Amino acid sequence: MNDRLTPPRRRILAALAGVPLLSLTLTGCTGTPPGKRTLRGAGEEADARVRWHAARTEQNLLVLHAATIARHSELEDAVEPFSSHHRQHVDALVGDGPLPLLARLDVIGSADTGGDVLGRLERLDAELPEVPDDPGQALTAVRAAELAASEAHLTDCLEASSPRLAALLASVAAAEAAHDAGLGAR
Amino acid sequence: MNATPEVTFEPTPGSTADGTAGDTPEATPASDDPAVSDQVIAATQAALAGEHACVYGYGVVGAYLSDDAQTAAREDLAAHESQRDLLRGYLSALDAVPEAASPAYALPFTVDDAASARAFAGELEDRLAAVYLDLVASGPGLDLRRMAADALVASALRRRRWTGEVSAFPGLDEREGAPGG
């Protein structure tokens, strides 16, 4: 697997900055009375939820990848390059804008911090997902999760009010559909 | 291949319509702001230009392949033709004139065997993914956004099949400032 596309977060954010943006109907909140939510505020809050949902989807994929590799080390070569993508997706999503108030990303691995997802899970006393004993079935489960994540991101893409977030989600959805196909080709 | 212009995914100013699709999807942007419509139309025209280039390009790709690979190239060509027609329908629904294909395109590198044909197919899909990403971001019309997002997914799948590679950020990796851009 060619992993030349391992961008630092700032490079992806720079690329996203080139996406045409429309903020035509959203207004600022200067002078808004306390307690009255502005259109922009409502959109940002909704986008924060969309971003959070997408980041959690990526987190769940990272956990499944880590559990699968821990159970079937022979699948590491197939799965780990895509784990790297998911860490980049997490970074891009978190770097795209605010998350909901009080939201925390306890478990997430990132391109910056590396991939010790299992270690973090252990410290949090969190449960690992079940992985089938048969490596073929385990790979099938990863493929199904990638495809489900792709479809979830497409749904999120339609809910995003920020064009930039919508573009990022569409791109992540495309990557994960290709992950499914890539794993199926092995 | 000595044809011009270069395979570019920019809209082609001044070109004329070369037909319309039977489909007339609901593509009207949710905003009445004319600037929104202009941006949506420009992004849709850019995607159409990309599909025109792919229709041309896959003809070249198929010429250097055989057997199953040639069949796959034909299938991808048909998919791009279908998507081209769909985009024409969107533009007609937006009261815009779909831009025409160029008679020929210059290729970004020499294509003279199966390996270079596969690489060219990957290049076509890379560039197409970037214009569909712009279309996703071009406006609030959800029907158009969904169509563009689905097209981006399809492009990433074709790219993987031709090159064996999967991009972490299809459509974004090709941009300036990103790896490979």
* Predicted-complex ipTM score: 0.82
Residues 111-170 of B with CB under 8 A from A: 129, 132-134, 136-140, 142, 145-146, 148-150, 152-153, 155-157, 159-161, 164-170
Query: CA-CA distance, A48 to A103, in Å (whole number)?
Result: 10
- Domain count for chain B, please give it: 1
The distance from CA A39 to its chain's CA centroid, rounded to whole angstroms, is: 26
Q: Is residue B28 situated within a structural domain?
A: no
Residues 6+ apart with CB under 8 A from A157: A166, A169, A170, A173, B136, B145, B146, B149
Query: What's the burial of A36, exposed, middle or buried (CB within 10 Å: 0-12/13-18/19+)?
Result: exposed
Q: Is residue A159 situated within a structural domain?
A: yes
Q: Is residue B48 situated within a structural domain?
A: yes
Q: Is residue B67 situated within a structural domain?
A: yes
Neighbours of A63 (CB within 10 A): 23
Interface contact B170-A89, CB threshold 8 A: no
Domain that holds residue B146: 34-102+110-163
Q: Is residue B51 situated within a structural domain?
A: yes
Q: Is residue B52 situated within a structural domain?
A: yes
Output the six-digit token pair for A41: 């505020």
Q: Is residue B120 situated within a structural domain?
A: yes
Interface contact B133-A175, CB threshold 8 A: no
Residue B87, domain CATH = 1.20.1260.10
Residue A45, domain CATH = 1.20.1260
- Domain count for chain A, please give it: 1
Contact of A6 with chain B, judged by CB distance below 8 Å, is answered with: yes
Q: Is residue B154 situated within a structural domain?
A: yes
Query: CA-CA distance, A114 to A7, in Å (whole number)?
Result: 14
The type of residue at B178 is: A
Q: Is residue A1 situated within a structural domain?
A: no
The candidate with the shortest Cα–Cα distance to B158, out of B127, B136, B114, is: B127
The distance from CA B139 to its chain's CA centroid, rounded to whole angstroms, is: 18
Residues 34-73 of B with CB under 8 A from A: 35-36, 39, 43
The one-digit pLDDT tens for each residue of chain A (186 residues) are: 333 333 445 555 566 555 544 332 222 233 334 444 444 566 888 899 999 999 989 989 999 999 999 999 999 999 999 999 999 999 899 888 877 766 666 555 555 555 566 676 666 666 778 999 999 999 999 999 999 999 999 999 999 999 999 999 999 999 999 999 999 987
Q: Is residue B71 situated within a structural domain?
A: yes
Domain that holds residue A149: 39-184
Q: Is residue A2 situated within a structural domain?
A: no
Interface contact A12-B133, CB threshold 8 A: no
